[in-house]
Amino acid sequence: MSNQDRRTAFLHEMGLGPVWSQRAAVLQTLEHEPVLLMASAETVEISVPVAAPVPQQRAAEPTLSAWGDETPAAPATVPMTAAVSAVVKPASDVANMGWEQLKEVVSNCTECGLCKGRTQTVFGIGDQKAKWLFVGEGPGRNEDFQGEPFVGPAGKLLDNMFISMGLKRGENAYIANIVKCRPTDANKRDRPPTAEEVDACMPYLQRQIALINPTVIVALGKTAALSLLKLDPATPVSKLRGTVHRYDEIPVVVTYHPAYLLRSLKDKSKAWADLCLAMQTYTARENG
Ligand code: URA
Ligand code: SF4
């Protein structure tokens, strides 16, 4: 797929197309039905040089959780993970673990208070040798139930971002989160993890990154970006975009969280610009 086709496909997938080519042609290229037209809007500011978007009927606004996910009501009883008397592993041990041991330790982890509310840990998914690593914030309600990152509406958008980049969930990309257990507030709604929770969980992601050794990391949203880059929590995502940062030697490109993009249409074309930067960075590193 050429860059132009990808951009067309991406904007289309996000409900902003058609751009230059006809919708039918885009669909043919993608060979699948668009799933994200719920994000269609009346007015869209596009900062990339594309034709004006076709106004579309706005779908009914879904009920949004803290992250914008439209999530089903929680069942009355949430199964709790049984307390496990696994030996606590210090960070130095984690840094030497292989995949199997790491998964096992994470699934039994009680290093922070999030262990108490989880249905299960959400370790991450994808090709263990993936060249692309996408890092989100932490599991939401859907992810906590299913044990897989980004399976709610934000995940559908992420899947569409993958398609537009020529990637596919589970194949050449790995998806992980900063924290592996779902953070909730007093009303059982999703919330961002605290600094302590991030610190407690970080050795696991650090080990995942070391094992994968990706060519490029894409940080999805503020929590992922600031935690990976160890920056001041007051830094807005908008300040981090457009620059290639580093985690050790690995380039990190920062973009908006997909759940935020579901609510903020005007930033979707900026997200495409971020993904273009990530793709350029990838090509340069793979060839250089
Ligand atoms: N949001 C995230 O940051 N991660 C998920 O896995 C799901 C929603
Ligand atoms: Fe352990 Fe991370 Fe879950 Fe906290 S969030 S209990 S550190 S796996």
Domains identified in the chain, total number: 1
Handedness of CA 16, 22, 27, 29 (dihedral sign): negative
Mean pLDDT, rounded, for 103-127: 98
- Report the predicted TM-score, pTM, of the whole model to 2 decimal places: 0.76
The closest ligand to the CA of 116 turns out to be 2
For residue 69, tell me if it sits in a domain.
no
- Decide if pLDDT at 112 tops 70: yes
Range of the domain at 179: 24-56+82-287
Alpha-carbon gap, residue 264 to 163, rounded angstroms: 21
- Cβ 158 under 6 angstroms from ligand 2: no
- Decide if pLDDT at 261 tops 70: yes
For residue 18, tell me if it sits in a domain.
no
Per the model's pLDDT, the better-predicted residue between 58 and 200 turns out to be 200
For residue 74, tell me if it sits in a domain.
no
- Decide if pLDDT at 193 tops 70: yes
The closest ligand to the CA of 199 turns out to be 2
- Decide if pLDDT at 254 tops 90: yes
Per the model's pLDDT, the better-predicted residue between 185 and 43 turns out to be 185
- Cβ 68 under 6 angstroms from ligand 1: no
- Decide if pLDDT at 132 tops 70: yes
For residue 259, tell me if it sits in a domain.
yes
**Long-range CB contacts for residues 170-173, cutoff 8 Å, separation at least 24:** 170/125, 170/126, 170/127, 171/126, 171/127, 171/130, 172/127, 172/130, 172/131, 172/132, 173/126, 173/127, 173/130, 173/132, 173/133, 173/134
- Cβ 112 under 6 angstroms from ligand 2: yes
- CATH number of the domain encompassing residue 243: 3.40.470.10
For residue 183, tell me if it sits in a domain.
yes
Q: Could you report the per-residue pLDDT of 74-95, keeping only the tens digit for each? A: 333 434 444 444 555 666 799 9
Which atom of ligand 1 sits closest to the CA of residue 136?
3
For residue 67, tell me if it sits in a domain.
no
- Cβ 241 under 6 angstroms from ligand 2: no
For residue 147, tell me if it sits in a domain.
yes
Mean pLDDT, rounded, for 249-277: 96
Per-residue pLDDT, 170: 85
For residue 28, tell me if it sits in a domain.
yes
